[in-house]
Structure 1
C-alpha cells in the first residue's frame, strides 16, 4: 500500500514536470513565431516607408529591427538590418554613412554562413561601385551576387541595377531587356515600385534614342504608378521627365502642366519639413550607432587598462595603437578605392582588347577566305591557259608563234607559282598545315628536287650538286612533301640569283641515338649574296632584298617565308650567312625518326622515258567542259584513250561497268565530291590507281585525299611532264608490283 502511494506521488510529480516542460517549449515556440512575425511586419513597414520616401519612418523601423536583433543576439537579422541601412543611405546620397554600415555588415559576415546575406552584400558593393562610375566592376559583382542566391526580390533588384549600368555604357538594347522584364515582374515585395523604376529608366533611354512617343508612354506609366502607390520621389521624377519630353515635342501646354506639378511638389511646406525631419532622424540614428561603437571600444579600452592596473604607459600605448589602426584603416580604405578604380580600368581595357582581338581574328578569317576563294577560282581558267599553250607548242607552230607561246607559257607558270605560294602562306597562317609522319627515303626526295631543277641550273650555266652523307639511314619517318617544298624553294632561290656558278645541296648526319636522328641541311651558292641590312627582312613576305632585285630577277618574295613557316612545323629554324657579292648559305637542323628494323631494300624506280602509254584506257572525272577537252587532248598526245564522267555519280557507275587502267578524279564537283566518289569506288575496286586532279583550296588536305583512297595527287593547273609522270608511275608501278 505504501509503495503504491509512493509510486502515485512520483508519477504525479513527473507528470507536473513534463507538463511544465511542454508548456515552456510551446511558450518558447510561440515567442519565436511571434518574434519572426513582428520582424517581418517591421521590414514590410520599412519597405513601404522607403518606397514612399518617408525616410525618417523607414529609419525608425530599421532601428526597431536592430534592437530586436541585438536583444535576441540574432546575427543574421542584424546583418539584414545593416544592409538596409547601407542601402537607404546610399539612395539618399549619403555615401559615407552607407559605407559605415556596409563595413559593419562585412565584419558580421566573417562568422556567418548565410548565402542570401553574402549575395546582398555583393549587390550593395556593386551599387557602391556603380555610384563611383566603375561600371564593369559593378557588373562583375552583380554576376557573383546572382550565383550566391536565387532570391526573387534580390534578382529583380539586380536586373534594375544592371539596367542602369547598361544605360550608362550605352548598351540600350540590353538595358531595355532587363527593364521590360521588371515592368511585368511578379515580385511579392516590390512589384509596383520596380515597375515604376523600370518605366522611368525606359523613358530616359527613349529620350536618348530620340523616341519621344515611347518616352511619353513610359513616363505616364511611371507617373500613374507613383501617384497610385504614393511614391513621391518617383512622382517628382516622372513629372520632370514628362515636362522635358513635351517641351521637345513642341507641346508647351502639356509641358507647362507637368512643370507646375513639379513646382508644387518642390515648394510644398510638407516636403520641406519632411526633409528636415528625415535629416534629423538620420543624424540621430547614425549618431546613436556611432556612439554605440565608440562606447564598445571605450569599454574594451577600460577593461584593458584595468587589467594592467591602469598604467599610464599602457594607456598611452593603447591610444597610440588605436590612432595608428585608425590611420591604417583610412589609408587602406583609400588604397582600396584606388585599387577598385584601377581594376575597373583594367577590366575595361581588357574588354576593349578582347573586342580588338575578335575584330582582328574576323579580319584574318575574311582575308584568308577571300584569298582562298580567289586562288581557287583562278586555277580553272589558268588550267585552260597552261594546257592549251602546251598543246599548241606540241603542234609544231611557226617560229614567231612559238616565241609568243613560250612567253605565254612563262607567264602562266609564273602566275601558277604565285598562286601556289599565296595558298601555302594562307594555309600556314590559318594553322591548317600539319606535318605528316610517314616512311620515306630522304636521298630520293633530295635527288628528285635536284633533278627537277637541273634544267634551271643549265639555263644559268650553274652546276647543281648534291652532297649526301651515306651514313644517313635510308628509311626515315617524317613529311617528305613539306621537306621537298622546303628544298624546292631554297634551291630554286639559290639558282635564281646564281649565274655561271655553283649551288650545293648538303645533307649530313650529326648524330643517331636509337631511333632518333639529328640531320644538318645546307643550301649554299656563290651568287650575288645578301647585304647585312637586307638579311634582317629577307624572311618576311614579299621581301626580295630590293626593288631592283625584284625587277631584275622576278619572283613573289614568298619562298623564304614559306621555308621559315614550314620549318616551324618541325620545331626547326632557318639560319643565313651571306656576304654581298660572295654568295649565300641557308642552313638548318632537323630531328627525324628512323626505323632501324626496316629492310634496306632498293625501291624499283621507273624512268619516265620508259613509260609506254600506248593502249592505256583511263576514266577522266571532270565537271568543267574546257578542262575535259584539254585533259582528253593531253592524254591523246600519248595515245591514251579515255571516257569522261561529268560528276561523281557518273564516275561510280562507269567504274562499276568498265575496266580502266586508272581514274583521274577531280575533287571539287557539284553533287558528291571526288573524295566521296573515291570512297564509293574503293568499296568494289581496291586496286585501280586513282589520281586526284584538283585545284587545292585552303580547306583541302592531302591527308584527306589519301585517306579517301587516292594513290596520288596532281594539283591543277599542272605541268604536263608532272601529269604524265604521275600517270606512268602509278599505273606501271602497280603492274610491276603485280609481276613481282
Structure 2
C-alpha cells in the first residue's frame, strides 16, 4: 500500500499550498489551457481515475512541446510517471521520471529536478527493490534541495529514505531520517502536516516494533488510528492495524494480535469496496503473474497465521476470511488483466496520434520553407533590376539633384524589400533546421571595420558617430562563420541606428581569455539612443516584434533580433541585453574561437592589387535582359570587358571557341542551366575561374556549386564593390 500513501501524501501538499512557491514560478511559463489540464490531471490522479488522468497528461506534454516550454514538458512527464507509479508499472514510470528530469535540467528548474529525482528513488526502492540505487536518487534529490534552498521539498526524500530502510528492516539507518522528518513536518500547512505526521508515527511504530519495544510501538499505532479514524483514511488504518497485529504476534500476545487482525480485515474489506481503489486496481496496466503470486503467498501466510489463532476456537471465522481474500485476489487479477489490455490499446492509439501529428508538422515546415525559398528567389530577380539600374544611374556625374533624391529613395525602397526577403528566408531556414555553420579563417578587425563602414551613410543621415574599439592583442586570423557573424552584427548595428539620433554607436571587441590555440571574445554593440522599456526587454527577441510601433516610429520588420538570437544559439552563444529607457542600449555576446596560424594568410586588397583590369575578358551567362544590362554596366564601371550569352548552351559553345579569363554563370537559365553548363565546361577546361550568380540563398546552393568545379558564388542583386572583390580574388588565384 506504500504507493497509495505516496499519492495521498503528494496531493495533500499540492492542494494545500505545499508547492506554492514552485507553482507561482511555473504559471509564468504555462498557458491557461496547459494549467487547466495540469489541475484536472492532478485531481483525477488524486481520485485514482488513471485513464482520464493519463489522457489529460498526454495533452499537457503535446501542448508544452508546441510552445517549447521545457518546464511544462517536465511537469507533464512527472505526472505521467506518478500515474504509472500508482498502477505499479515501474518501467513506464522510470521512463517518464527520466524525461521529466531531462527537461527540468534543460529549463534549469530546481523544483522539478528535485521531484523527478525523488520519483526515480521511489521506482528503484519500491518498484525494483534496488535499495542502493533508490537511496542514490533520494540523496541526489537532497543535494539539489540544499543547493537551491527549496526547504519545502526536503521532507519528500527524507521520508522516503526512512520508509525504504524500514521496509528493508534496517531500523538503525531509518531512525535519523524519521526524526528529521518529524521536524520538517511541523513546518507544513494543516492538511499536509496531518498526513505527514501520521505517516511518520506509523513508521516510528514499525521501528519500535522492529526493536521489540512493543509498548512504544503500540502507543504510536494507537495515536495514528485515533487521528485518522475521523478522517476515514482507510488505507492508513489498514496498514496500521496490520502492523499492530504483526507486532503482537512477535511477542506472543495472541489476543491482541487476533483483535488487530480482525480490525485489519474489516478495514481491508472497506478498502476493497471503495470505488476509487477499484479504479486503481482496474487500471493496473502491468499486473503480472508474479504480482498475483505474491498476493496468493501473502494470503496463504495470513491464512496460516489465522489458523494458529483458530486453535483457540476461531476456526470458522478464519476459514471464511481466507476464502474472501482468495476470491478477492482472483477477482482483481482477472479485472487487472482486462484493464491492462484496454489501457494498452488507449496508450497505443495516443502514441500513434502523436506520431502522426509530428510527421504532419514536419511536412508543413518543409513545405513552408520550400515555398518561402521559391517566392524569395522570384522576388529577388526583378529586385536585381530595380537596385542594379538605380545604382548605375546614381553613378552618372551629370544627374540632376532632384532626380538623384528620387533615385536614392528608389534604391532605399529596393534595399529595404531585399532585406525583408532575406530576413524572412533566414527565419524560415533556421526554423526548418537547414541552416548550417561554415567556419573559415577570418580577420575580425577587418570584418568589423568594413561592417561599421557600411553604416556610414545611415549614421550621417541621423548625425550619429560610429566608434570601433578593439583590443590590440586580438589575433589577426580566427576560425568563425564570418557570414553568420556578419548577419548578427549587421542586425545589431542596424537596430542601434534605427533608435539613435545625434548620438554615438560603439562596436567593441573585448578579450575575455586568451590561450595558445583558443580565444574567448566578447562583442558589444552599444548606443546612447532612446533605450528599451523594462516591460519590452523579453518581447524584443520575438519574431515581428518592434519597440515603438505604438508611436508609429518603428522601422523594419521586427525580425532582426529574432535572427540574432537564433544564429547565436547555433554558434553556442547567447545574446544579452542591458538597456534603460532614455539612456541607451547595449547588446553583447561571447564567442570561443580557434586561433589560426597567420603565416601565409595575406589579406586581399583589390583596390591596390595591381591587376591589369582592361583587356581581361569575362563571359557573362545570364538570361534576364535587365540583369544583362546591369551586370555589363557594373563590369564597365570596375574596368572589365565582357561578352554576354543568354543560356548555358551558348556559354558552352563560346568557351569552346574563345578564351576567357573568368566566367560569371547564372544558375537558372533555359535550355541548359548553369550547373549542367559548368559540368560540361569542366570536362575540357579545368582552369578558367567560374563564379556562380544566384538569387537563391547561398547556403542552399553553395555546396553543389563547389562540388561540380565552380570557384566561387555571389548573390544577386550584385553590389559593385562585392563584384570587384570576388573577380579580383579569383583572377589572382
TM-score range normalised by the length of the shorter chain: 0.5 to 0.7
Task: State the 1:558 CA deviation.
Answer: 1.2
Alignment of 1:329-344 (within 5 A): 329-344=330-345
Q: 3-state SS of the aligned residue for 1:352?
A: helix
Matched, 1:603 2:595: no
Aligned to 1:369: 370
Shift of residue 576, structure 1, vs aligned partner: 0.9
How many Å separate the matches in 2 of 1:309 and 1:378? Answer: 93
Answer yes or no: is 1:588 the counterpart of 2:589.
Answer: yes
Aligned-residue offset at 1:377: 0.6
Give the C-alpha shift of residue 336 in structure 1: 4.7
> Does the 8 Å CA contact 1:526/1:584 hold for their aligned counterparts?
yes
Report the equivalent of 1:716. 716
Q: Secondary structure at the match of 1:643?
A: strand
Cα contact 1:527–1:582 (8 A) shared by 2: yes
- Distance of 1:654 and 1:687 partners within structure 2: 16
Query: What are the within-5 Å matches in structure 2 for residues 522-533 of structure 1?
Result: 522-533=524-535
Distance 1:451 1:710 in 2: 30
Q: In structure 2, how many angstroms separate the alpha carbons of the residues matched to 1:483 and 1:663?
A: 29
Would the aligned equivalents of 1:691 and 1:712 in 2 still touch at CA under 8 Å?
yes
The CA distance in 1 between the partners of 2:337 and 2:547, in whole Å, is 56
Cα distance, 1:638 vs structure 2 = 4.0
Query: Is contact 1:530-1:578 (8 Å) kept?
Result: yes
Gaps of 5+ in 1: 1-296, 735-740
Displacement of 1:548 in angstroms is 4.0
Q: Please tell me whether the aligned partners of residues 477 and 593 of structure 1 are also in contact (alpha carbons under 8 angstroms).
A: yes
Structure-2 change in CA distance of 1:704 and 1:471 (3 Å): farther
2:478 is aligned to: 476
How is 1:140-539 mapped onto 2 (pairs within 5 angstroms)? 320-395=321-396, 396-539=398-541
Instruction: Tell me the distance in 1 between the aligned counterparts of 2:415 and 2:719.
Output: 8
CA distance in 2 between counterparts of 1:379 and 1:309 reads 94
**CA–CA distance in 2 between the matches of 1:355 and 1:612?**
63
Name 1:703's counterpart in structure 2.
Answer: 703
Once the two structures are superposed, residues 697-736 of structure 1 have per-residue CA deviations (whole angstroms, 9 ceiling, x without a partner) of: 49823333334333332211233333334334433x43xx
Q: Structure 2 CA distance, aligned partners of 1:497 and 1:644?
A: 45
Tell me the CA shift for residue 399 of structure 1: 3.1
Whole-angstrom distance in 1 between the partners of 2:651 and 2:631: 16
Partner Cα distance (2:600, 2:697) in 1: 37
SS class of match (1:692): strand
Alpha-carbon distance in structure 2 between the residues aligned to 1:382 and 1:309: 98
Deviation of 1:357 (Å) = 3.0
| Aligned mates of 1:377, 1:572 — CA distance in 2 | 34
Deviation at 1:418, TM superposition (A): 0.8
Partner of 1:294: none
Relative distance call for 1:504 and 1:699 in structure 2 (3 A) is closer
Residues of 1 paired with 2:724 and 2:575: CA distance?
Answer: 34
SS at match of 1:466: strand
In the superposition, relative to structure 1, how do residues 706 and 494 fare at CA in structure 2: closer, same or farther (>3 Å)?
farther
Is the aligned partner of 1:670 residue 2:670?
Answer: yes
Distance 1:603 1:399, change over 3 A: closer
Q: Deviations over 1:631-676 (max 9, x none)?
A: 2233234453211232223323322432223211112223444234
- CA RMSD across the alignment: 3.3
Paired position in structure 1 for 2:640: 640
Answer yes or no: is 1:690 the counterpart of 2:694: no
Look up the SS of the partner of 2:493 in the other structure.
helix
Contact 1:667-1:692 within 8 A present in 2 as well = yes
Kindly indicate whether the alpha-carbon contact (under 8 Å) linking 1:383 and 1:627 is maintained by their aligned counterparts in 2.
Answer: yes
Using a 3 Å threshold, how does the CA distance of structure 1 residues 676 and 466 change in structure 2: closer, same or farther? farther
1:246 corresponds in structure 2 to none
SS of residue paired to 1:365:
helix
SS of 1:424's equivalent in the other structure is helix
Change over 3 Å in CA distance of 1:309–1:578 after alignment to 2 = closer
CA contact (8 A) 2:678 2:709 kept: yes
Shift of 1:341: 3.9
Bigger Rg over Cα: 1
Counterpart for residue 558 of structure 1:
559
Instruction: Confirm or deny: 8 A CA contact 2:527 2:585 kept in the other structure.
Output: yes
Whether the 8 Å CA contact 1:308–1:314 is kept in 2: the answer is no
Q: Which residue does 1:78 correspond to in 2?
A: none
Matched with 1:660 is 660
Matched residue, 1:572: 573
> Matches of 1:321 and 1:671 in 2, distance apart?
91
What are the Cα deviations for residues 268-326 of structure 1, in whole angstroms up to 9, with x where unaligned?
xxxxxxxxxxxxxxxxxxxxxxxxxxxxx9xx99x999x99995778865654443232
Q: Output the CA distance in 1 between the equivalents of 2:517 and 2:327.
A: 71
| Alpha-carbon distance between aligned partners in 1 of 2:601 and 2:640, rounded to the nearest angstrom | 33
1:100-135, CA deviations, whole angstroms, 9 ceiling, x for partnerless residues? Answer: xxxxxxxxxxxxxxxxxxxxxxxxxxxxxxxxxxxx
CA distance in 1, matches of 2:372, 2:510: 39
State how far apart, in whole Å, the 1-side matches of 2:610 and 2:532 are: 43
Q: For 1:515 and 1:683, how far apart are their aligned partners in 2?
A: 42
1:435-474 per-residue CA deviation (whole Å, 9 max, x = no partner) reads 0133222222222212222332222222222222333332
Distance between the aligned counterparts of 1:364 and 1:372, measured in 2? 12
3-state SS of paired residue (2:540):
coil
Return closer, same or farther for 1:365/1:698 CA change in 2, 3 Å cut-off. Answer: farther
Question: Aligned partners of 1:711, 1:456: CA distance in 2, in Å?
Answer: 34
Q: Distance in 2 between matches of 1:509 and 1:527?
A: 26
Cα offset for 1:524? 1.1
